[in-house]
Structure 1
C-alpha cells in the first residue's frame, strides 16, 4: 500500500481528490472539536451484516435540511437542523469547492478500536458521482483507498486535525475507502462529511 501525497490536488485514476491539511487553523479546529464533543447528541446504531446484528464501531449524528433523510447499511437517519457552527463550516467549504451541500454526517471515533470498514459513499440519495467534503478533527487517523477493479491500486494517507479532504468525479463508483482499526493508543476523532442529498 503506497502513501499518497499529503497536500493539494491528488492524482488518482478514476477519481478527483484534493487535500488541505490546514483548512482550519489550530485554534478554530480545537474550538469546534470541543464544541461538537459536548453538544452533539451522539448515537450508536446497530447494523446488520450477513444476518447478524452488531453495534456500529463509532458514534454518529446527522445534521441537515429538513426532509433530507439519509439511509446507509440499513440505517435511516433523520437530520437535526444545522447549528450556526456547522453552517459556518459548510459555507467555508462551499466557497472553496464551488459545491453546495444539504447534509452533514458526523462520526465520532472514540479510540483506535472504532473504525469504518471498506465502503463507498454511493447511496442512491447522493446521485451519480457525488461530491463529498470530509473535515477531520482530533486524533490523526489513517485513511485507506483501494480501486474496485485494479487490485494493484491501494493507497493510504493520514487525515490530520483541521484538515479537509474533497472527493469527486468517479471516486465513489471506482474506489472503496476505510478508516481501519489500530492498536495504537489514540484519542478521539470527529469526522464531518458534507454531501448533497437529492
Structure 2
C-alpha cells in the first residue's frame, strides 16, 4: 500500500509481520463532531442528551435513525444466543456481503456521509474500499474482545482503515502467542490503518473502560474479495 503522508501529522508503526499507520487528528474536529451527530440523528430522542445504554433492546429497536441502520447482532456462544456488547451496521457495494463470528451481513446502500469519509481515506492511499463495518459503543461498558480480521472475504493480507469518533478508547493489539502487546489510544477523528500480515499474527480488542460515559463510533473500511469478484 502506498500512502501520501507528508502533511498528515501521522506516523508509521512497524511490528513483526505487519504495520500500522496512525494519524491522531486525521478528520477535523468540526467534521468529527458532525459525524457523531450524523450517526445518531433520529426521530424520537435528543441524540446529545439521551442515555442510550439505559434504553432496553425493545425501546432502542423502535428508534428510527435517519442516516444509519443500526442493528443489535447476536452470536451463538456455548449453545446460547447472546447479544453483542455494541451495535453495528454494514455498508458497501451491492454485492459485498460479509460473514464473521457466524453473523452474515448484507450491505446497506452507501450514503453521502459514509462516502465522504471513505473518499477522505482513499485520498491518501492507493486502496479503493468497497465496504465498511460500523460499531457503536454506547459507553465504556460496550466493547469487543480479542479477534482478528482474517475472514476469507478480506483476502490474504487485508488493508483495513479504522476511523474513530466520539470518546477516546484504547485499541490493544497482541501477538497470538501473547508475547508482545501494545495499546494505542484512538481519539475523536483518529485514523489507524492496519496492513501487511498483521491479521495473521496479531489479535486486537477494545476492552471495557467503565469510567467512559460517552459514545464511541468506529468505522473499519475494508475490501471484500468474493471468489467471483
How many residue pairs get aligned? The number is: 192
1:25 to 2:51 alignment: no
Given the alignment, which residue of 162, 166, 171 partners 2:198?
171
* RMSD between aligned residues: 1.2
TM-score by length of structure 2 reads 0.81
Q: State the shift of 1:81 in Å.
A: 1.0
Q: Which residue of 1 aligns with 2:173?
A: 145
1:14 to 2:11 alignment: no
Given the alignment, which residue of 181, 185, 192 partners 1:154?
181
For residues 186 and 172 of structure 1, what CA distance do their matches in structure 2 show?
Answer: 30
Alignment of 1:115-134 (within 5 A): 115-134=143-162
1:84 to 2:87 alignment: no
Q: Which residue of 2 aligns with 1:3?
A: none
For residues 16 and 40 of structure 1, what CA distance do their matches in structure 2 show?
Answer: 31
For residues 161 and 122 of structure 1, what CA distance do their matches in structure 2 show?
Answer: 26
- Runs of 5+ in structure 1 lacking a partner? 1-5
The SS at the match of 1:30 is helix
* Contact 2:139–2:213 (Cα < 8 Å) also in 1: yes
Q: Which residue of 1 aligns with 2:79?
A: 51
For residues 97 and 29 of structure 1, what CA distance do their matches in structure 2 show?
Answer: 20
Q: Which has the larger radius of gyration?
A: 2
Q: State the shift of 1:51 in Å.
A: 2.1
Q: Which of the pair has the greater relative contact order for Cα pairs under 8 Å at 6+ separation? A: 1
Q: Which residue of 2 aligns with 1:183?
A: 210
The SS at the match of 2:38 is helix
For residues 106 and 37 of structure 1, what CA distance do their matches in structure 2 show?
Answer: 12
* Contact 2:167–2:212 (Cα < 8 Å) also in 1: no
As a proportion of its length, which structure holds more strand? 1
Q: State the shift of 1:7 in Å.
A: 4.4
The SS at the match of 2:213 is coil
Q: Cα deviation per residue 1:53-76 (whole Å; 9 max; x = unaligned)?
A: 110000000110001111001000
Q: State the shift of 1:52 in Å.
A: 2.1
Q: State the shift of 1:84 in Å.
A: 1.1
Question: For structure 1, which segment, 181-190 or 154-163, has the greater mean C-alpha deviation from structure 2 after superposition?
Answer: 181-190
- Runs of 5+ in structure 2 lacking a partner? 1-8, 42-66
